[in-house]
Amino acid sequence: MFFIDTVEVPGLGNRSYLAGGADAAVVVDPPRDIDRVLEAAARREVRITHVVETHVHNDYVTGGLELARRTGASYLVPAGARVSYERVPVSDGDLAEIGPGLTLRAVATPGHTPHHTAYVLEDDGRAVGAFTGGSLLIGTVGRPDLVEPRLTESLARAQHGSAHRLADELPDDTAVLPTHGFGSFCASSQNGSATATTIGRERAVNEALVKDADTFVAELLSSLDDIPAYYTHMGPLNARGPLPVDLTPPAVADADEIAERLAEGEWVVDLRSRIAFAEGHVAGSFNFEASGQLATYLAWLIPWGRPVTLLAESAEQLADAQRELVRVGIDRPAAAATGTPRDWVRKGERLRSFPRAAFADLATALGSAPGGSGSTPGNESGSASGIGSAPGNGSAPRNGSASGNVVVLDVRRDSERAGGRISGSVHIPVHRLRSRLHEVPPGTVWVHCAGGMRAAIAASLLDAAGRDVVAVDDGFDAARAAGLPVTEG
């Protein structure tokens, strides 16, 4: 008998796995916070004998080296990966015995990286699961452009070949168990909502398996979106060998220290909900919701290595955020505080706030305006006058005026905007906004994304820069329903 347990890492859109038999187990692509894996093994009452990596990861910091050290397990890493620590180099066809009748077989699957390796779990010679890492995902494949631009096309072709190799060699009922593809930016596309799959299903629906190589490569290369900026630090860090994590609470900052850190240009990040942040927050702080994709977007936007102070509602929220951030190499907050915004500002200082709105409110604001135009270099843009605050969703703009230009700012990614955009809107993806604030035309900025989370991040950046802002907290489909001029394609 065998088992396969999934260790979810939802903030990054990844999964790790614990698999084994009666008393021994292997861990595949472990997250950096290995205590969760150790707890899973303890529940199963198994000893971790092997830790394996499908590749040197580009999107998160691995816990593999530390897990192997803590457990005494053999640490298997693809032989082609250049790393600075001792490990067991794995080549195509290598076998690892996990327990009686239970074997792990290495299968070379280059594409996501040149050295990428999948592992097939065999029970008495029968393939029962394929740990496919960043090669064959659910309905799609891993990105081939995270290593070196000059290799992207050749890796895309290798990815097509690797997917076909797995499909040709494995039975239809073999479970496909990828590391990426559940919201991860390591996936080349986000295909549907399926959370489990098999080789048979992928043979019928996966874009790498239903298209010829030339078509697949051309479409894949044309669809690749921006790479999160912090990815450039993950591969080298994993190749050097990450240090153990420290999840002890950070030093407590009072209102004076928070103000001093802001004055020094450090990042002060408010982890509360976007609703709470809009209602009142420390001037100059940024809003990255702890319940959203905190690690991905904070690591993407913050200048690498910049000290960060975390503001949280509770010790539990702070601890969860620390855990998320160590997974992407933000190891120790410079300081932290819990409580409410009133606890975080000096006596006599005022909190900042801004309105939240729906697309229907934006339609009303634009509909009551006499019209106008504005421009942003290289972007479609537009403005109008006659702005009003969104009823019931927050306060009026800080200048207290009911007039002025309306600037509609779309902070979605390029690929999302291609599916429909509000005519005349300015387009600056949220991950580029910090360096392009000067391109946002004068006026009150109504900022939107696809659902509200990224709009809240963008609104906090604009608010900290002194701009009047309205955060559109609504699904983009509502823009059409509100009668806004949406241009398709």
CATH at 425: 3.40.250.10
User: What sign does the dihedral 457-449-453-329 (CA atoms) show?
Assistant: negative
Indicate if 31 and 174 belong to the same structural domain. yes
Q: Given pLDDT bands bounded at 50, 70 and 90, which one contains residue 184?
A: confident
Domain contains 387 = yes
Q: Does residue 446 carry a pLDDT above 70?
A: yes
By the 10 Å C-beta count (0-12 exposed, 13-18 middle, 19+ buried), 379 is classed as middle
Q: What is the mean pLDDT of the chain?
A: 91
Q: Does residue 178 carry a pLDDT above 60?
A: yes
Mean predicted confidence (pLDDT) in 274-298: 96
Mean predicted confidence (pLDDT) in 300-314: 97
Please tell me the distance from the alpha carbon of residue 183 to that of residue 135, in angstroms, as a whole number: 15
Indicate if 215 and 335 belong to the same structural domain. no
Domain contains 350 = no
Q: Does residue 400 carry a pLDDT above 50?
A: no
Domain contains 247 = no
Give the pLDDT confidence score for residue 404 in this predicted structure: 66
Domain contains 365 = yes
Q: Does residue 401 carry a pLDDT above 50?
A: no
Domain contains 191 = yes
Indicate if 420 and 446 belong to the same structural domain. yes
Give the pLDDT confidence score for residue 190 in this predicted structure: 66
Q: What is the pLDDT of residues 40-88, one digit of tens each?
A: 999 999 999 999 999 999 999 999 999 999 999 999 999 999 999 999 9
Contacts of 400 (CB under 8 A, 6+ apart): none
Domain contains 248 = no
Give the pLDDT confidence score for residue 382 in this predicted structure: 37
Which residue type occupies 140? T
Please tell me the distance from the alpha carbon of residue 97 to that of residue 15, in angstroms, as a whole number: 23
452 close to 414: Cβ distance less than 8 angstroms: no
Indicate if 315 and 434 belong to the same structural domain. no
Domain contains 349 = no
Give the pLDDT confidence score for residue 93 in this predicted structure: 98
Indicate if 444 and 309 belong to the same structural domain. no
239 close to 278: Cβ distance less than 8 angstroms: no
Contacts of 89 (CB under 8 A, 6+ apart): 77, 78, 79
Q: Does residue 191 carry a pLDDT above 80?
A: no
Q: Does residue 472 carry a pLDDT above 50?
A: yes
Give the domain extent around 272: 255-344
Of 172-176, 285-289, 373-377, 392-396, least confident by mean pLDDT is 373-377
Model-level pTM? Answer: 0.90
Give the pLDDT confidence score for residue 398 in this predicted structure: 43
Indicate if 371 and 477 belong to the same structural domain. yes
Indicate if 110 and 59 belong to the same structural domain. yes
SS3 120: strand
Indicate if 277 and 233 belong to the same structural domain. no
SS3 74: strand
How much of the chain, in percent, has pLDDT values that exceed 90?
Answer: 87
**Of 317, 344, 371, which closes a domain?**
344
Indicate if 336 and 427 belong to the same structural domain. no
CA torsion, points 343, 346, 348, 354, in degrees to nearest 10?
Answer: -70
Q: How far is CA 344 from CA 252, 262, 335, 349, 448, in A?
A: 11, 12, 12, 10, 28
Please tell me the distance from the alpha carbon of residue 27 to that of residue 17, in angstroms, as a whole number: 6
Q: What is the pLDDT of residues 340-376, one digit of tens each?
A: 999 999 999 999 999 999 999 999 999 854 443 333 3
**Of 344, 368, 395, which closes a domain?**
344
Question: In whole angstroms, how large is the CA radius of gyration of the chain?
Answer: 24
**Of 310, 344, 378, which closes a domain?**
344
Q: Does residue 387 carry a pLDDT above 60?
A: no
Tokens in use for 488? 């398709």
Domain contains 412 = yes
Please tell me the distance from the alpha carbon of residue 400 to that of residue 398, in angstroms, as a whole number: 5
Q: Given pLDDT bands bounded at 50, 70 and 90, which one contains residue 233?
A: very high
Mean predicted confidence (pLDDT) in 103-124: 98
How much of the chain, in percent, has pLDDT values that exceed 70?
Answer: 91
Indicate if 123 and 205 belong to the same structural domain. yes
Indicate if 163 and 233 belong to the same structural domain. yes
Distance of CA 124 to the CA centre of its chain: 38
Give the pLDDT confidence score for residue 477 in this predicted structure: 95
Please tell me the distance from the alpha carbon of residue 24 to that of residue 49, in angstroms, as a whole number: 6
CB atoms within 10 A of CB 65: 25
Indicate if 306 and 392 belong to the same structural domain. no
Q: What is the pLDDT of residues 309-322, one digit of tens each?
A: 999 999 999 999 99
| H or E element in which residue 414 lies | helix 414-417
Please report, for the domain that includes residue 70, its CATH number.
3.60.15.10
Q: Look at the chain and report how many structural domains it folds into.
A: 3
